[in-house]
């Protein structure tokens, strides 16, 4: 299990303070080279070893585009831009292409050089407000506000690393006052999130409280990629949630492995290690294996898991030593830099105060 950023379930429009498109943007992406084809919304470009540049033709259809503007703004092309966003956390570039409208279809073309991109690249269409307009209740007025989006395409420039088990955790909105999460009703009904690890062999489940304040829910449900105080606050909140959940999962997994070792005390070393490991649920094996090199940063990645097992077996104090640093391990195991997310949010807040 690779714990990365959390993914939210789609929420109703009530959580947006302005009109957005009722339906997703209909985006179609195709290669100009007939030999390069997408499988659904995915392209494994790393398989084309001899091709260094990928040319893509994008077309999009936007239904009821006028619905996101007040009635007095008739010329949508003057106030709205449909852009194609190309991004990857691991690459040096992040690009935007503005679609041109031809009849009722938006079109654009882009070139991606293999040397410029790493890992997976996400491509999606966004409808944004291109200039400030007069405030009108129920409608966006600030330049850059996102008003609609499409589903995403993924292009793999490098072969993705295999994840053990292929398991992932679901994130669900649930009332902390309802019957489903009855153990939270009495003392924890106002909390923001909860983790349920009672499923035994099943993957843990993450819950967000559907009864939370609507302003907070709006921020947590914000889908915009535009850098702003709102999106920075959202990222900060999710980083905090991710770190605390990861800490609990890894702590629980390591403590159980150590307990299994104690239960096998007196057995031959290899037998004890194998038995303690095999007694773990698959998701616990997975999280320990995926992050062993973060727990033992001085070990080579391929040796980290076996080194970790042996260290815990040979040194009774090792588990306590690891748990003392578990929050630091969690902060350094995130897909996104905890230091960067906190710093960016602080700078935005201070910049706003100085205006």
Domain-wise residue ranges, the chain: 17-161, 163-212, 216-355
For residues 110-120, give the mean pLDDT.
86
Q: How far apart are CA 205 and CA 199, in angstroms?
A: 8
Q: Which pLDDT score is estimated for 127?
A: 92
Give the pLDDT band of residue 161 (cuts 50, 70, 90): low
148: enclosing H helix or E strand:
strand 146-149
For residues 333-342, give the mean pLDDT.
78
For residues 172-188, give the mean pLDDT.
93
Q: Is the separation of the CB atoms in 225 and 94 below 8 Å?
A: no
- CA 131: distance to chain centroid? 29
Q: Is the separation of the CB atoms in 206 and 244 below 8 Å?
A: no
- Better-scored residue on pLDDT, 22 or 354: 22
Q: Is the separation of the CB atoms in 247 and 271 below 8 Å?
A: no
Q: How far apart are CA 190 and CA 77, in angstroms?
A: 45
Q: Which pLDDT score is estimated for 291?
A: 87
Kind of pairing between the strands at 153-156 and 42-44? parallel
pLDDT for residue 14 is more than 70: no
Which residues partner with 139 through β-bridges?
A: 136
pLDDT digits (tens, 9 = 90+) for 23-68: 899 999 999 998 899 999 999 999 998 899 999 999 999 998 989 9
Give the pLDDT band of residue 170 (cuts 50, 70, 90): confident
Q: Which pLDDT score is estimated for 91?
A: 52
Q: Is 136 exposed, middle or buried (0-12, 13-18, 19+ CB in 10 A)?
A: middle
What secondary structure letter does DSSP report for 151? -
Say how many CA atoms lie within 13 Å of 345 toward its Cβ.
17
Q: How far apart are CA 201 and CA 280, in angstroms?
A: 9
Give the pLDDT band of residue 163 (cuts 50, 70, 90): very low
Work out the percent of the chain whose per-residue pLDDT is above 70: 89
Give the pLDDT band of residue 110 (cuts 50, 70, 90): very high
Q: How far apart are CA 120 and CA 158, in angstroms?
A: 7
For residues 289-308, give the mean pLDDT.
89
Q: Which pLDDT score is estimated for 90?
A: 56
Average pLDDT of the chain, as a whole number: 84
Q: How far apart are CA 333 and CA 350, in angstroms?
A: 28
- Better-scored residue on pLDDT, 345 or 103: 345
Give the pLDDT band of residue 2 (cuts 50, 70, 90): very low
For residues 271-281, give the mean pLDDT.
89
Q: Which pLDDT score is estimated for 30?
A: 94
Give the pLDDT band of residue 181 (cuts 50, 70, 90): very high
**Candidate from 82-86, 96-100, 127-131, 133-137 with smallest mean pLDDT:** 133-137
Say how many CA atoms lie within 13 Å of 346 toward its Cβ.
6
For domain 17-161, the CATH class is: mainly beta
A 10 A CB-CB count for 242 gives 21
Q: Which pLDDT score is estimated for 33?
A: 92
Q: Is the separation of the CB atoms in 172 and 46 below 8 Å?
A: no
């Amino acid at each position: 299990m690779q714990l990365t950023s959390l993914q939210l379930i789609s929420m109703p429009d009530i959580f947006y303070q302005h009109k957005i498109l009722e339906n997703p943007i209909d985006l179609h992406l195709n290669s100009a080279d007939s030999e390069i084809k997408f499988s659904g919304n995915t392209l494994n470009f790393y398989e084309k070893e001899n091709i260094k540049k990928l040319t893509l033709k994008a077309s999009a259809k936007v239904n009821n585009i006028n619905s996101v503007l007040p009635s007095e703004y008739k010329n949508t092309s003057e106030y709205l831009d449909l852009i194609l966003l190309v991004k990857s956390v691991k690459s040096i570039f992040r690009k935007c292409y503005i679609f041109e409208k031809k009849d009722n279809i938006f079109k654009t073309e882009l070139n991606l050089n293999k040397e410029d991109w790493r890992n997976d690249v996400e491509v999606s269409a966004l409808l944004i407000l291109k200039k400030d307009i007069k405030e009108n209740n129920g409608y966006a007025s600030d330049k850059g506000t996102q008003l609609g989006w499409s589903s995403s395409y993924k292009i793999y420039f490098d072969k993705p690393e295999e994840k053990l088990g292929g398991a992932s955790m679901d994130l669900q909105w649930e009332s902390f006052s309802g019957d489903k999460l009855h153990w939270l009703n009495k003392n924890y009904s106002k909390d923001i999130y909860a983790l349920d690890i009672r499923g035994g062999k099943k993957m843990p489940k993450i819950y967000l409280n559907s009864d939370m304040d609507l302003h907070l829910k709006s921020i947590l449900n914000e889908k915009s990629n535009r850098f702003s105080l709102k999106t920075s606050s959202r990222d900060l909140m999710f980083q905090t949630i991710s770190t605390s959940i990861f800490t609990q999962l890894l702590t629980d997994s390591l403590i159980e492995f150590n307990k299994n070792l104690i239960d096998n005390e007196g057995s031959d070393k290899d037998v004890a290690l194998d038995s303690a490991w095999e007694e773990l649920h698959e998701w616990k094996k997975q999280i320990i294996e995926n992050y062993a090199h973060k727990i033992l940063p001085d070990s080579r990645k391929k040796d980290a898991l076996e080194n970790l097992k042996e260290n815990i077996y040979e040194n009774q104090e090792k588990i306590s030593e690891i748990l003392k640093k578990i929050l630091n391990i969690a902060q350094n195991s995130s897909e996104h830099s905890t230091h960067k997310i906190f710093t960016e949010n602080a700078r935005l807040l201070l910049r706003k105060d100085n205006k």
